[in-house]
Chains A and B, each alone.
Chain A
């Protein structure tokens, strides 16, 4: 019994590390830039499929692919932000249209992937997908451990960038006081564009992690919507440490749920977290 619990908690920790990488982009776009990108999971899945194609055609490691396509996703993110800025934000139109726009993106991406690849599950091959490290009765499958460790590295890198560099601090500040940024001769739109590019770029890596952890099909992204936003809100929106804590908490609870009630209940956990947070502590764990 004890080893079952411990293993559930350990795999929850590993899962949580990965969830942190998936949520990272939304913590930046939603939490800092105030752009409600509900299409983020679709970009994660897109990242998975890119890793899958390159892996299947060229045999390249999925995570290396994820790193290589970071610039492409960054530019894609910048382009999307530009469209959204020109069409909605600049005109000051209500959030309804922006939301509908991103919902449309989410839907179109999913349908396009279905059209091209069908609804079959796709998977990748890499040396770390099979083996498992064992410490006593605790299992550490490498296909979970590698994404988890790299997620935390990614997390740390972005956190350093956002807290130490000039541009990074501007990103963290832009939605709070755009006028102050203008006074410092920083263009808020450019900063938001960079921030959004970064947020989409993280999706490329998160997608590569996802397809290492589990086989992927186009509609898998939907399960992540509840999770991502639950973690983001629980973590206190823009707070990166809060996001990490929220992700690990959700990972552990989900893993325990899976162990004791079966995997089909796992998607409900994120939603429960989301509703409970919104109802009782909408500012999140580390919220201001």
Chain B
């Protein structure tokens, strides 16, 4: 990067269509506020409960896509990063409740829960980001496949660690008691968790779109399209891949941090559930991996479907459907819904052009 920066004059900045990133952030915030306002008007607390999960999946899918869609490196360990965030919260919470006599416990105990949660999200982001960086450093110098396999195994090993770690409840799990009241917002503390997750969605989407339009994003795309050529052209591939794993891991950890407050009782099996790993992949694949909009669409569609199906069909069956959808989209529509729609409109445009060129009379 530095070398490129000093020899700048020859590189002309690329003009990119669309609004700039800060304006996008403001727009996203406005959309989020409108969405929240609409939900608050309905005033049904269940909507916050169900909506929280969908939003959480939007963050997970967007985070996965930063590495998977932009760089082409598949992370199968989304559940591990998510659980890392969740267990960060559990361990800090246990410090407060079980070690209330120590200075650290007392100090942390004085922080009001809503504020503590924000701190926890940042902390979880740092931890998950560092683990992502470490994993990447060990495996990303090799073929991408090895990174994928290592992430697949990472979930198993982290789960082993947590199961053997009595401080956070071991295999029994741990209680995190959610405060009942939150005076400022409707919906109590769940309403507050919903707002926090909505803000995380805005952050994740802004980061993803920001990356897409920056030098970083072009570097990622170069890696995805042809890593050897990118390296030869002077793209610092290893450094860029490490940046991508760190950002992606951090966002997943942040998505997991509020989860213990949401669920109330966290077990290793639920934090490391395979459904996080499969959804984090299926959602961008179904939506489309090329831009920030794909994971959003995929997560909203699949997430809402699962919220509906868990209640009305069965939770195992809906996981089966997600898995089948993943296989279906990978084979039939590899660029997701967005790519599919793009293809359709391109075809229609071409057909129109062809008709104009040949004249309508040729066609029956």
Specify which chain A residues have a CB less than 8 angstroms from the CB of B334 in the assembled complex. Answer: 93, 97
- Complex Cα distance, B281 from A53, in Å, reads 33
Contact A99 B316 (CB under 8 A): no
Contact flag A100-B74 (CB < 8 Å), given A226-B156, A267-B157: yes
Residues from chain B with a CB closer than 8 A to the CB of A93 are 334
Q: Chain A nearest CB: distance from B66 CB in Å?
A: 14
CB pair B156 A103 closer than 8 Å: no
Query: A residues within 8 A CB of B157?
Result: 226, 267-268, 271-272
Interface string of B278-314 (1 = CB under 8 A from A): 1001100100010000000000000000000000000
The residue from B68, B274, B282 contacting A110, defined by CB atoms under 8 A apart:
B274
Query: Which of B68, B144, B282, B323 is in CB contact (< 8 Å) with A111?
Result: B323
Interface segment among B8-16, B158-166, B234-242, B246-254: the answer is: B158-166
Contacts A36-B145, A282-B142; A103 near B331 (Cβ below 8 A): no
The interface stretch among B24-32, B124-132, B146-154 is B146-154
Q: Identify which of B153, B224, B331 gathers the most chain A CB atoms within 10 Å of its CB.
A: B153
Interface magnitude class on chain B? 35 or more
A112 in contact (CB, < 8 A) = yes
Q: Which of A133-141, A160-168, A180-188, A273-281 contacts B (4 or more CB under 8 A)?
A: A273-281
B216 an interface residue at 8 Å Cβ cutoff?
Answer: no
A114 to B316, Cβ gap below 8 A?
yes
Give 1 or 0 for each of B160-194: 1 = CB within 8 Å of chain A CB.
Answer: 11011000000000000000000000000000000
A253 at the interface (CB under 8 A from B): no
B138 close to A115 (CB less than 8 A): no
Residues of A within 8 A of B326 (CB): 100, 103-104, 107
Does residue B76 face the partner (Cβ distance < 8 Å to A)? yes
Which residue of chain B has the shortest Cβ distance to A107 in the bound complex? B323
* CA–CA, A93 and B72, complex, Å: 11
CB < 8 Å neighbour of B274 from A107, A229, A262:
A107
Min distance, Cβ A82 to any Cβ of chain B, angstroms: 12
* A176 interface residue (CB < 8 Å to B): no
State A107–B325 Cα separation when bound (angstroms). Answer: 12
Is A100 a contact of B281 with CB atoms below 8 Å? Answer: yes
Interface residue A233 (Cβ < 8 Å from any Cβ of B): yes
A204 to B156, CA, bound (A): 24
Shortest beta-carbon distance from B354 to chain A in Å: 25
Q: Does A242 contact B (CB under 8 A)?
A: no
Known interface pairs A95-B145, A111-B320, A226-B153; A264-B160 also in contact (CB < 8 Å): yes
Pick from B154, B289, B327: contact of A104, CB under 8 Å: B327
Say whether A2 faces chain B, with CB atoms less than 8 Å apart. Answer: no
CB of B341 within 8 Å of the partner chain: no
Q: CB distance A267 to B160 under 8 Å?
A: yes
CB B344 to nearest CB in A, in angstroms, measures 19
Contact, CB under 8 Å: A271 / B278: no
Asked if A101 contacts B327 (CB within 8 A), the reply is yes
- Does A115 lie within 8 Å of B152, measured CB to CB? no
A87 touches B (CB below 8 Å): yes
A229: min CB distance to chain B, Å: 5
Q: A271 vs B319: C-alpha distance in the bound complex, in angstroms?
A: 27
A108: B residues at CB distance < 8 A: 320, 323-324, 327
Given the known inter-chain contacts A94-B72, A267-B157, A271-B157, please indicate yes or no for A225 contacting B152, CB distance below 8 A: yes
Q: How far is the CA of A36 from the CA of B223 in the complex (A)?
A: 20
Residues of A within 8 Å of B331, CB to CB, are: 83, 87, 101
Determine if B330 is an interface residue (Cβ-Cβ < 8 Å). yes
Nearest chain A CB to B329 CB, angstrom units: 9
Q: B313-355 toward A: CB 8 Å interface, digit per residue (1/0)?
A: 0001101100110110011001000000000000000000000
**Given A94-B224, A100-B326, 12 new contacts (CB under 8 A):** A36-B145, A93-B334, A97-B334, A104-B324, A107-B274, A111-B320, A114-B316, A222-B156, A226-B152, A229-B153, A262-B164, A265-B160
- List 6 A-B pairs, minimum CB-CB distance, nearest first: A226-B153, A104-B327, A271-B157, A108-B323, A104-B326, A107-B323
Chain A to chain B contacts (Cβ below 8 Å), 14 pairs:
A95-B145, A96-B72, A99-B74, A100-B326, A103-B326, A104-B323, A104-B330, A114-B316, A268-B160, A270-B153, A274-B150, A274-B153, A275-B138, A278-B139
**A interface with B by C-beta (< 8 Å):** 36, 38, 83, 87, 93-97, 99-101, 103-105, 107-108, 110-112, 114-115, 219, 222-223, 225-226, 229-230, 233, 262, 264-265, 267-268, 270-272, 274-275, 278-279, 282
